[in-house]
Structure formats: structure tokens, C-alpha cells
Structure 1
Amino acid sequence: MVRPLDERFRTARDLFPECRVETVQDRIVVNEPGTWQHNTILFRLLLQLVGTAARQGWQIWPNITVHLGEHADRYVPDLAVVPASPRMHEEHAVHGDATLLLADVVSMGSGYDDYYVKPCGYAPARVPLYLLIDPFQRSVKLFCDPSRGGYATEVVVAVGEPLPLPAPWGLAVDTARLM
């Protein structure tokens, strides 16, 4: 008998606590910790977001599972920005619609999932903003205006161009400072 995916997900998460464990299209994906380049990009993004987040009383979390629905995938973005008291599904999973921004840095094996699969899961769960930083393409993509059918707006800029974040952010990401 095959165990339910949620049970296998919890087992994998328990077996690999130092890794990011996600379910993506009925697959359990175990991602190793990021490289120094990956982590440097995240640090530089964090430096740009932290002032606004602190002024608004928001929190920035690494390595939190995003609950997208009862029978949906479970993604773990590189960074999640959440309000002071977000609605939680479990202690390790925040509801997608309780987030303010999710961010991922594309790694060698994650491109397809990051560009195509995750936006299709995040939009129906009402994740308001999904920021995707691609060091290989030297671009930054922002998905916004979620609906059941996907994101209505996708903005792509080359590294070096500013990327304005919509309200309530009041901030443009300086993409030149990311890489």
C-alpha cells in the first residue's frame, strides 16, 4: 500500500531537516542548501526588503512551507514575507493567501518548477507576489495579481533595471545589487 503524499512529505522532511523538502506535482523534491552565490543573492534581496518589512511590522522567513490547499502541492520558497501574525496551517506551514511576497532564486535543477509549476500553484492560493531571481538568465520576474487561472501580471526586467513592487510595498528592487 502506498502511503499518502502528506505522510511521505513529513517523513522526508524529518529525514532531511537540513534540506528544503517540497511536494511539486505529486513529487517529493529534496533540495540541498543553496550555494554561496544563491545565498548571496538572497542576502542582497533581504537587505532591500528588511527596511520596509520592519516599518510595516512584517516578518521575513526562510524555509517555511506554503500551504496552497488541502490537496495541493507544498512549496518552500527561499524567502517568505508575512504579516506580524499570519494565518498558519500548521506550525511549519503558512497559508499562501497570508503571505505578502514569496521569493525564489533559480538553481540548476529548479528552473522549470520555479517558472512554470510554482506560479500555477501560487496564483489559485492567492499568493499576492512571487519574485523569481534568475542568475543564469540575469533577469528578475515578478508575478502579481493572482486569480484561479494564474497571475494576470508578469513583469520581467534584466539585471540592472529597477523592479517596482506594487502596494503596499512602496519600494523598487534594485536588481543591479542582487548579482
Structure 2
Amino acid sequence: MTVMAERAPQVTVDEFEQIAKAAEKLADDAVRFEFIDGRIGVKGMPDGDHAEIVAWLQRRCMQSAGLWLYAGGELGLRVEQYRQGRARPDAVLAAEGTFAGQGDWADPDGVLMTVEVTSYDSDTDRRDRQEKPSSYAATGIPYFLLIDRDAGTVTLYSDPGPDGYRDAHSVKFGATLSLPEPIGIELDTERLKDHVR
């Protein structure tokens, strides 16, 4: 769950990183902060079904030799044009070892796919369906997978550009979605029906 602050006085990326580091220590890792489209957002702890969905996807991605799904929302990425944003995707697919030694906010080079699972909060539409996909596309991340619990769909976005992803393929929970090479796996989404309200 992320709650985005309304337009506040603009802060720099460096100021955001200092704020986020201090606040996360005070919150004892109960929240994570993001900086997207010039706004500071707070990403709360996911619910159990959210965690189960990410674990389900992690098991599926283990079929891709050499790739690893970094899960849990703890990995921060430098996103948006000129990498002026900071996001914590629910999961990131990249080659094993991609983020070694990179610190709190990793360079997105080498990221093959980012993943977001919608939360049941008022901000999920703006955050997960609009701002984050736009940021990931502007960064040049080849694929974005949105698992939308409200709509009961899984959507694979591809062909990134400065204004967003130019292609999207959606299936309803229960159908199969093909993730193209170099991922090269089929996602049977039937199990996702068990993790919606």
C-alpha cells in the first residue's frame, strides 16, 4: 500500500533520500518510501494475499534459467527520465547478482521486468496503474507485470517509451499469460482467484 502526498513543496532527490532513510529507521522498517513524479509516497506492509501472490510468481520465475525474482518491495530502483524518481516495486526480475553492491537505490540497468500487485487502498489506481508504469517505461525497463486484484486481471506491458508502455496484453484470473523470451514462461493464473477479496 502506498499513500502519495498531495503536491507539496518540491524536494530534490537527495533530500528525499535523506528523508526516506531517517523515516524508515524511525518506523522500524514498517514502511518504505518512494519518490515518483515529484511526490513522496509511503509504501506500507502488504497483506497476506499480496505476499502469497508475489511468492506464487517467484516460484514460476524460477523456471527461467539465470533470472531471479527479487521480491518483497525492499529493493529500490532509480526510475523515471534521468532517473530522478525512486520506486520500490513489489518484485523485480533480473539476472542473479544484478544488484550486488548497489546500496539503497539500484540502477535499473539489467532489470528485465518490474511487478506490482494492487493493494486495497484509495491510491492504488494512481500509483500502480498510472504513475509507476509510466516511470518504469520512461526508464526503459522492457516489461511491467501488473497483477490487478480489483479487476481480476494480469497485464503484461511491453515496448517502453518516454510516455509509457506502447503494448499491453491482459488476461482474466484463470487464463494463461505467456511471458516472452528471455523470460519464456507460461503463467497459469487460476491460483490467483484464491487471493482476492
Does structure 1 residue 150 correspond to structure 2 residue 164? yes
Distance 1:12 1:95 in 2: 18
Judged with a 3 Å threshold, the aligned counterparts in structure 2 of structure 1 residues 87 and 148 are, in CA distance, closer, same or farther, namely farther
Does structure 1 residue 75 correspond to structure 2 residue 87? yes
Judged with a 3 Å threshold, the aligned counterparts in structure 2 of structure 1 residues 24 and 2 are, in CA distance, closer, same or farther, namely closer
Match of 2:18 among 10, 30, 34: 10
Per the alignment, residue 114 of structure 1 pairs with 128
CA RMSD of the aligned region, Å? Answer: 2.2
Q: Structure 2-normalised TM-score? A: 0.79
Per the alignment, residue 76 of structure 2 pairs with 65
Match of 1:23 among 31, 35, 40: 35
Match of 1:49 among 54, 58, 61: 61
For structure 1, the residue ranges without an aligned partner over 5 or more in a row are: none
Q: Structure 1-normalised TM-score? A: 0.87
SS of structure 2 residue aligned to 1:169: coil
How many residues align? The count is 176
Judged with a 3 Å threshold, the aligned counterparts in structure 2 of structure 1 residues 97 and 144 are, in CA distance, closer, same or farther, namely farther
Distance 1:132 1:173 in 2: 13
C-alpha distance after superposition, 1:33-70 (max 9, x if no partner) = 10111111111111111232xx22x2322321111254
C-alpha distance after superposition, 1:96-152 (max 9, x if no partner) = 342011111011232221111112111121101110101111111111111223212
Per the alignment, residue 142 of structure 2 pairs with 128
Alignment check: 8 A CA contact 2:10 2:38 kept: no
Alignment check: 8 A CA contact 1:88 1:94 kept: no
Distance 1:121 1:2 in 2: 18
Does structure 1 residue 102 correspond to structure 2 residue 111? no
Question: What percent identity do the matched residue pairs reach?
Answer: 26
Alignment check: 8 A CA contact 1:97 1:128 kept: no
SS of structure 1 residue aligned to 2:141: coil
Higher RCO (CA < 8 A, seq sep 6+): 2
Judged with a 3 Å threshold, the aligned counterparts in structure 2 of structure 1 residues 117 and 125 are, in CA distance, closer, same or farther, namely same
For structure 2, the residue ranges without an aligned partner over 5 or more in a row are: 1-8
Per the alignment, residue 137 of structure 1 pairs with 151
Distance 1:88 1:119 in 2: 25
